[in-house]
Structure 1
Amino acid sequence: MDMRDDELKLIADHMGHSVAIHTDVYRMQTSVLERTKVARALLALEDGKLQGFNGRDLSSVSLDELPEPEPEPYKAGSFEELSEPDNSYEDVPEVETEAVQKPHACTGSKNDGRKRRRVLYGKPLTFR
């Protein structure tokens, strides 16, 4: 929307920030606007609806004048086809595995079945 400076200041004051913040953050970037115009112009060209813009610059054409893309039609069976489970299996040969020793709960230490006690500075630790 094209606004005068005093209108822009009213909106910025209402939103609680300065005009500079409003123009830097909330205004649509020109690159996004230009890409949208080019994309819509290409869609109009593809549909044969670009004759009405003959001799005009892209900057003089507003977004409202260019046709919006039409949504692609929904294919009735597409979701069901994707959601059906795949019941096909292939034979996989069995592989013999060696017995693997499970790691001990206390990794990195030798657990030979003996009870151990914790010692700090030569004195056994006791937990209460």
Structure 2
Amino acid sequence: MTRRLNGACHCGAQRFAAPAPETVTRCGCSICSKRGDLVAYYPPEEVELDLTRASLAAYQWGDRMMTFHHCQTCGCSVFSDAPAWTTDEGEDRPARLILNARLFDDFHLEAVPVRNLNRRND
């Protein structure tokens, strides 16, 4: 059975719970490299979000295929969400929630492999 972890932004206003990730990803696209997140990808049904909507901000850019959420109180990037979509090649991609794995409590990031994606020039 996979261990579930809790996570929260620095001030605690935005909280979540999800299975411990087996890997994390360092994305090199323009926004992810500036945010500095290490992320873990999940089907939406595997994540419990406990959010304070009054202090949660959303940002979209480019093709608007993802929404990036951060806490307005402490500034932590918390999660991103992406709807299901089909690639130009006809491959179906499922909806997903992308959590900032740096916010997990009692989880050592160095214990899992880091996958590097360079999407800055995509």
TM-score normalized by structure 1? Answer: 0.18
Higher relative contact order (CA 8 A, sep 6+): 2
Instruction: Name the structure where helix makes up a greater proportion of residues.
Output: 1
**Greater Rg by CA:** 1
